[in-house]
Amino acid sequence: MSTHYETLQQADAYREAFAVEPPAALGERHLWPRKPGFFIVHAATAAALSQAPGAPPEAEAAPDAAPDATDNATPARVLVSAQWGLVPHWVKSASDAKLRAPKLVNAKSDTASTGTAFRDAWLNGQRCIVPMAAFYEDDLRSGKAVPTRVARVDGKPMGVAGLWARWQGADGEVIISYCLLTVNANNHALLHRYGQPGSEKSMPAILNEGAYDAWLTARPEKAKEFMRQYAAQWLLANPVEKKADKVPKGFLG
């Protein structure tokens, strides 16, 4: 299960791949749990980011939204800056949120609708798309963890299905956060090689480009139809050689 992914470092990639305006600052290339990243939602549902915790989204524009206007044929999407590592709205304190977030960077798609941490976000339709260039998995077949970069064969950005949440503390502090949704990869021709031997294998739920808007607007009972493996022949896995790209101690997937 990945706890490290690579963000987009070209502004045009946001426009071309996801029809959103890029952020003013692209941020760090390598993202780890509890670090600031980005997710994408429709402008029509982005207002929920400023609502009370746990409330279902309403069809209003977000105050800070910068919807893309280049394609009038599809609903505008909005890029949101947030913490990677979901903070459920019912968490009692910021210190508790800090402890929980690193453990909630991934949600198994088969239990997201029933698990305590992710259930409300799933049932309220708080779905998002997480843009990334690649994700990292450990290859343990040699007995030693070898960080491996997994990306699309064609080098294009990936849009991974995710869930977002809004937490507000008693003092008014607000944390917008998100997690990646994962699917079982035990029988995946490529991803079954990675992770701990004997454990369940998983991979991010990579969406097909044509399904982005449908994923964001689907009813909760239809959302799981998007939770599918991404074809192995469309992915490329390469061991990491640069020390700067290796997984730091404490963040092995």
pLDDT at res. 241: 74
pLDDT in tens, 59-80: 333 333 333 333 444 458 999 9
Distance of alpha carbon 193 from alpha carbon 136, whole angstroms = 13
pLDDT in tens, 171-191: 989 999 999 999 999 999 999
Question: How many CB atoms are located within 10 Å of the residue 175 CB?
Answer: 21
pLDDT at res. 221: 86
Question: Dihedral (C-alpha) 76, 7, 104, 123: value to the nearest 10 degrees?
Answer: 20
pTM value is 0.86
